[in-house]
Structure 1
Amino acid sequence: MYLGTTPSVTCNNSSRNEFSLIPKKNPLVEFVEKLPAGRSSLCYCSLLCGIIRGALEMVHLAADVTFLQNRLKGDSVTEIGMTFLKMLDEEKDRRKK
């Protein structure tokens, strides 16, 4: 919603704790023309994974968020894989502060 694109969601595992987000449009791609020579391993879009993971932590959900496919790397789609790990204990977080 905040990025101006609505992804489709696919879930292929039976335990329903893993799914993929496939956005129709990746807003970060508009700002990257070509990866620098010798830096083909850079993933500018990893920023999106951090944003999603941080937002989930704010609502007390721990998740592993990674890029599975990336149009900047030549893939046909952009796909973000998410694995739900656990619910964070709100009381423990309050005690740390």
Structure 2
Amino acid sequence: MAKQYKTLGDEIWKNRVEPMNAELFIFTYGSLVVQLVKDYEDYDQVNQQLDKMGYNIGVRLIEDFLARSGWGRCTDFRETMEVISKIGFKMFLNITPTVTSWASDNKSCSLVLDENPLNDFVELPLDAQQQLWYSNILCGVLRGALEMVQMQVEVKFVSCVLRGDDISEIRVQFVRHLQEEVPINDE
């Protein structure tokens, strides 16, 4: 099944995604992070802002993902993470993280990013290496997108090559299924 997801992700990337200049994207994101550091002067606040921005992006990005991929509902959290890894990340960043380190209850796993285009051309200052999660926007994107498909998750980076770690790893913990709610006074 994982091969089917990868094949679909590759097909969507080649035929349904309008390419953009990767370097422009990377440098724009870098400028955004630098501005947040200047504005907040506190790396914890910068991490929170990146997560919040990512969440807002994820809330909107899920519609694009569903429209372009034609994907329906996943059967469980495990399938959801495979689809995100092999189709979602491929569609939007042209990378395919490895889904690994599943908990015995299948409610948490890690996404290992062998490559992360957001990290290209980046070197963190020493004071930032232990506090700043430079690509934390990805955690927010995952959280926002999954919330829109009624999955509450906790998402956090546990390691990053920019901080001197061997790998970049995002840990995703399934919390609960959300109930679909009709907005108040909506008929």
Specify the TM-score bucket, using the shorter chain as the normaliser. Answer: 0.7 to 0.9
**SS at 2:170 equivalent:** strand
Where does 1:32-51 land on structure 2 (aligned, <5 Å)? 32=122, 34-40=123-129, 41-51=131-141
How far is 1:11 from its partner?
3.2
Q: Structure 1: 5+ residue runs without aligned partners?
A: none
1:9 match: 99
Cα separation, 1, equivalents of 2:102 and 2:140: 23
Pair 1:31–1:62, CA change in 2 (3 A):
farther
Cα separation, 1, equivalents of 2:160 and 2:126: 18
TM superposition score normalised by structure 2: 0.47
Q: Which of the pair is proportionally richer in helix?
A: 2
* Percent of residue pairs identical: 40
Where does 1:5-84 land on structure 2 (aligned, <5 Å)? 5-32=95-122, 34-40=123-129, 41-84=131-174
Pair 1:54–1:18, CA change in 2 (3 A):
same
Q: Which of the pair is proportionally richer in strand?
A: 1
- For these two proteins, the number of residue pairs brought into alignment is 94
Deviations 1:34-61 (A, max 9, x none): 2235333111111110111111111111
Give the greater-gyration-radius structure (CA).
Answer: 2
